[in-house]
Chains A and B, each alone.
Chain A
């Protein structure tokens, strides 16, 4: 069913340069590029970012189709955006004039502009999550947040929360599927039906999911405590991260791109 096709966020166990980069470096690169994407640096800026993305995608050995599939869920949003923009934005040159209906150039440009930004963001995030094991990602986040612990940010607790959430995503997807099947066997139709039926069918899914998740959460908390976990106590860590030259190089590249975009914008 639908659930099995989620591409966004899934780790792809391949052997590539990008896979072996330090997760902290990858997160920083993503951060720099995300900022760069939001700088209105015009076509040149986008071409530079696009070039970087293409190279990264190529190095990561991910299939282009995989990255594109990650964008599938966005298509409806894009269409929606286009429709809204067409109806609302009435500046620039009118391209189509058909009775009361008209499409102006700015509407199209504006939509394209947002769509391209969204695409960049999705592809970048997909590359990060597809080449980094969830746990390494969490560890990276934890280490990057470490300096903020001084001002009271509980970095290791945040990291633990994220890693447990990631760990249980597949379990919850499986569970959702199972409850859907069980309710479908009781005659629930999740796809058709009026509003009242829809609400009821969603309730029949959500309530059991909550009940079992709370159950799970309690058991998990017990298991963690029984194994000596105390969020307020010192812990050692199994995984250690080491920055290498290629990590520095990757980050430097992204800083350069950010600089170029900033430069174009300011000048």
Chain B
């Protein structure tokens, strides 16, 4: 079942001098089992939108249908707590949510909040740990003695252990080194391909979006500017420029060459075809 968003609006501090409308009528249909990127500049409404997906925020107007839950204005958060088990939300720099003495306890914290017995929860922890690339020797260690990248894995495990149907990731690779980022993205792609989880990725990194995502949503000033499959999106670099997003390196190269009079079709998005295309337009060094 896809995620259906209809005329969603959200206003912070409504009725006060600090009132601010962050979302101004969002209509979206996010496909199930796919990897969807949500992109846009800081302040475009991305974070506000994703916080609606697991009921952290309730719309000021409009509706949201997700995982069998129908969310509308004035709904009590209590009634949708269960939604948070179905939609896992990983915030930016999630390592800052760790607080328990041991890694085992910290990962088991979520399941216990949802009423799962301690023993069963610990069993789930043991199952989830290898998925994030950590072995059982970590179970009894303190999360605070880990490296930054490992802390983040533990924090993400704390959400994955709930076995959510939809996984929402807010800049999951921010601040990681390139290798750490790659491993993190591989983990999410596995969850998508092997377990069919729907993944929403909020990202600034267009290389990641181009490489890993199926579908792209562009937000700008609280509105949906674009909604496309990833290919179509990257075939139109002017859309990225319009909202001030830096295109991936290959597209920047393509644009630079086009400017210099090279004829390169917009449909070229990979290096071998780009090189092939250039080859026909220059005198080679034989």
Is the beta-carbon distance between B13 and A4 smaller than 8 angstroms? yes
Q: Interface code A185-212, partner B: CB below 8 Å = 1, 0 otherwise?
A: 1111101100000000001101110011
With A181-B56, A185-B89: A212-B96 Cβ-Cβ less than 8 Å:
yes
Query: Does B159 touch A at the CB level, under 8 Å?
Result: yes
Is the beta-carbon distance between B56 and A208 smaller than 8 angstroms? no
- Give the Cβ gap from A62 to chain B, nearest Cβ, in Å: 11
Query: Does B144 touch A at the CB level, under 8 Å?
Result: yes
Q: Which of A63, A66, A182 has the most CB of B within 10 A?
A: A182
With A181-B91, A185-B54, A185-B88: A192-B78 Cβ-Cβ less than 8 Å:
yes
Complex interface residues of chain A between 154 and 199 (CB less than 8 A to chain B):
175, 178-179, 181-189, 191-192
Query: Does A91 touch B at the CB level, under 8 Å?
Result: no
For A178, list chain B residues within 8 Å (CB): 91-92, 96
For A5, list chain B residues within 8 Å (CB): 13, 16
Is the beta-carbon distance between B84 and A184 smaller than 8 angstroms? yes
- Give the Cβ gap from A198 to chain B, nearest Cβ, in Å: 13
CA of A119 to CA of B54, assembled, Å: 41
Query: Does B45 touch A at the CB level, under 8 Å?
Result: no
For A4, list chain B residues within 8 Å (CB): 12-13, 18
Q: How large is the interface on A (under 10, 10 to 19, 20 to 34, 35 or more residues)?
A: 20 to 34
Is the beta-carbon distance between A186 and B159 smaller than 8 angstroms? yes
Name which residue of chain B comes closest to A210, CB basis.
B99
For B13, list chain A residues within 8 Å (CB): 4-5
CA of A183 to CA of B114, assembled, Å: 12
With A4-B12, A192-B78, A211-B144: A185-B96 Cβ-Cβ less than 8 Å:
no
Is the beta-carbon distance between B17 and A185 smaller than 8 angstroms? no
Is the beta-carbon distance between B97 and A187 smaller than 8 angstroms? no
Query: Does B22 touch A at the CB level, under 8 Å?
Result: no
For A188, list chain B residues within 8 Å (CB): 113
Query: Does B98 touch A at the CB level, under 8 Å?
Result: yes
CA of A208 to CA of B109, assembled, Å: 14
With A4-B18, A187-B85: A182-B96 Cβ-Cβ less than 8 Å:
yes
Is the beta-carbon distance between A186 and B96 smaller than 8 angstroms? no
Query: Does B247 touch A at the CB level, under 8 Å?
Result: no
Is the beta-carbon distance between B12 and A66 smaller than 8 angstroms? no
Q: Interface code B145-187, partner A: CB below 8 Å = 1, 0 otherwise?
A: 0000000000000110010000000000000000000000000
Main secondary structure of the interface of B (DSSP, over half): mixed
Query: Does B94 touch A at the CB level, under 8 Å?
Result: yes
Name which residue of chain A comes closest to B77, CB basis.
A191
A63, A179, A186, A207: which contacts B113 (Cβ < 8 A)?
A186
Query: Does B196 touch A at the CB level, under 8 Å?
Result: no
Query: Does B41 touch A at the CB level, under 8 Å?
Result: no
Complex interface residues of chain B between 44 and 64 (CB less than 8 A to chain A):
51, 54, 56
- Give the Cβ gap from A209 to chain B, nearest Cβ, in Å: 9
- Give the Cβ gap from B124 to chain A, nearest Cβ, in Å: 13
For B85, list chain A residues within 8 Å (CB): 187
- Give the Cβ gap from A103 to chain B, nearest Cβ, in Å: 36
CA of A53 to CA of B113, assembled, Å: 50
Is the beta-carbon distance between A186 and B110 smaller than 8 angstroms? yes
CA of A143 to CA of B85, assembled, Å: 55
CA of A51 to CA of B147, assembled, Å: 61
Name which residue of chain B comes closest to A193, CB basis.
B113
Is the beta-carbon distance between A182 and B110 smaller than 8 angstroms? no
Is the beta-carbon distance between A185 and B56 smaller than 8 angstroms? yes
- Give the Cβ gap from B158 to chain A, nearest Cβ, in Å: 6
Q: Which of B77, B96, B159 has the most CB of A within 10 A?
A: B96
Complex interface residues of chain B between 14 and 71 (CB less than 8 A to chain A):
16-18, 51, 54, 56
CA of A174 to CA of B127, assembled, Å: 34
B12, B17, B144, B158: which contacts A186 (Cβ < 8 A)?
B158
Query: Does B81 touch A at the CB level, under 8 Å?
Result: yes
Is the beta-carbon distance between A187 and B144 smaller than 8 angstroms? no
Complex interface residues of chain A between 208 and 252 (CB less than 8 A to chain B):
208, 211-212
For A191, list chain B residues within 8 Å (CB): 77-78
Is the beta-carbon distance between A208 and B97 smaller than 8 angstroms? yes
For B78, list chain A residues within 8 Å (CB): 189, 191-192
Query: What are the 8 closest A-B residue pairs judged by CB atoms, nearest first?
Result: A187-B113, A207-B99, A186-B110, A182-B97, A185-B89, A187-B114, A182-B91, A212-B96
Contact sample, A vs B, 19 pairs, CB 8 Å cutoff: A5-B13, A175-B96, A181-B51, A181-B91, A182-B91, A185-B54, A185-B84, A185-B88, A185-B89, A186-B97, A186-B158, A186-B162, A187-B162, A189-B81, A191-B78, A192-B78, A207-B99, A208-B96, A211-B98
Binding site for B on A (CB under 8 A): 4-5, 63, 66, 175, 178-179, 181-189, 191-192, 203-204, 206-208, 211-212
Besides A175-B96, A181-B56, A181-B91, 19 other CB < 8 A contacts?
A4-B12, A5-B13, A5-B16, A179-B97, A182-B94, A185-B56, A185-B84, A186-B113, A186-B159, A187-B85, A189-B78, A191-B77, A191-B78, A192-B78, A206-B99, A208-B96, A208-B99, A211-B96, A211-B99
